[in-house]
Amino acid sequence: MEYSLGYLTGRTVLITGGTGSIGRELLWRVLASGARVCRVFSRNEFAQHLLAEELREQGLYERVRLLIGDIRDRERLMRAMEGVEVVFHCAALKHVTACEYNPFEAVKTNVIGTQNLVEAALQAEAERVVAVSTDKAVSPRNTMGATKLLAERLVVSAERWKGSRKTTFTVVRFGNVLASRGSVIPTIVRQIRKGGPVTLTHPEMRRFFMTLGEAAELVLAAGGLGEGGRIYVLKMPVVRIADLLEVLVEELAPVFGFSPSQIEIETIGVRPGEKLHEELMSPEESLVAEEFDDYFVIDPFAPVANRPLRAYSTLEQEPLSREEVRDLLHRSGLLSDLPRLLEETSV
C-alpha cells in the first residue's frame, strides 16, 4: 500500500483514545512523521502520567499535549479540537461482554461520542478525520458491533452532508490486534503464569489478527490515500484461537517454570454476544467494494455492481498453521514484549 505521510508534516494532530494500544502506536509514528504537535485526548489519567514520563525520557514531551477528557463531553471535545488539522479517532468501548451488560454506555461512547467528534471536526475545519472501526461492525450480533456499525455510518455519511466544508471523513476497519490492551493474549499470559488452566471459548472459534504496527500503518495509509466517505479494509490472516492458545502455552510455559503438558486447556463456552466467525466485509458490501492487492475500499453510497457476492470472513479464509501462528507471534515482537504483558496482567 503506497501512501505519503506528507499530510502530517508540520500539522497539529489529535488522537482520541490516545493512551490505548493503537493510539500510542499512532502517536510515535505521527511524531516521527514531522507533525508540529500531537494532542492526546483520553480519560485515563494514570495512562497519561506514564506516557508523559516516557515522552520526557525520549525528549518528545514538548511536542505533545496531554488532554484529559471524554468524547461523550461535547464541549470538552470542541475545545480540544480547536486548531486541529488531522484527527485519528481511536476512542471507543471495545469489549464485547462489557458492552453486552452495559449497552447504553456503549451507545454513549461509540455512537454519541463519534457524532460529537464529527461535529467538532467540522466546527474546527479540520482537514481530515480517520476513524478506527472493527470487524464486529459487519453483520453485528452484539452491542459493541452494532454501535461501531453506527459509528462507521456517522463518519462516512458526514462526507455527504458536510456541505462546502473541507473536512474529509474516512473509516479504517480491521480485526484483532495482537496483544492490544484487554485482548485475549494478555489474559492467556496471566493464566499460563498461574499454571493454568487456559480457557478456550470454543474449539472452532477463528479471528482475524494483525500486529500493532500493521494496524497503525493502515490508519496512517487511510489518511494518506484519503478519499473521503470510504471504508478501508486490510486483508488479514485468520487464526484459530485453539491454535493460538496451544502455541502460546508451548512458548511461554517454560518461561514461567512449567512444562507445556502441565498447562490444561479448558473449554468454557462462547460468551454473550460472541461470534464463532467474524467478517471484515459482508457479501452485500462486496458489491460496492474495490479490491487491491492487500486491502479493499468500500464505498457504502456507490452504485451496486452487477457481480457475484463475496464475503471476506474467517470462515472463507484458510487459517494459519500452528507454525505460521508461531512465526506471526515472533515477527510481531510479542514474545519479546513479555515485560509489558506481565505488567498489564499483574492486577
Residues known to be catalytic: 136
> Position 301: which residue type?
F
Q: Which cell numbers hold the place of 275? A: 461470534
Report how far apart the first and last C-alpha atoms of the chain are (Å, whole number).
Answer: 39
Phi and psi, residue 94, nearest 5°: -115, -10
Q: Are 272 and 100 in contact (CB under 8 A)?
A: yes
Beta strand extents in 7-152 (DSSP E only): 12-16, 37-42, 64-68, 86-89, 128-134
DSSP string across 30-45? HHHTT-SEEEEEES-H
**Cα–Cα dist 304/223, whole Å:** 25
Q: Which cell numbers hold the place of 144? A: 459493541
Phi and psi, residue 223, nearest 5°: -70, -35
Which residues are paired to 38 by β-bridges? 13, 64
**Cα–Cα dist 281/5, whole Å:** 27
C-alpha dihedral (18, 115, 311, 325), degrees to nearest 10: 10
**Cα–Cα dist 327/189, whole Å:** 18
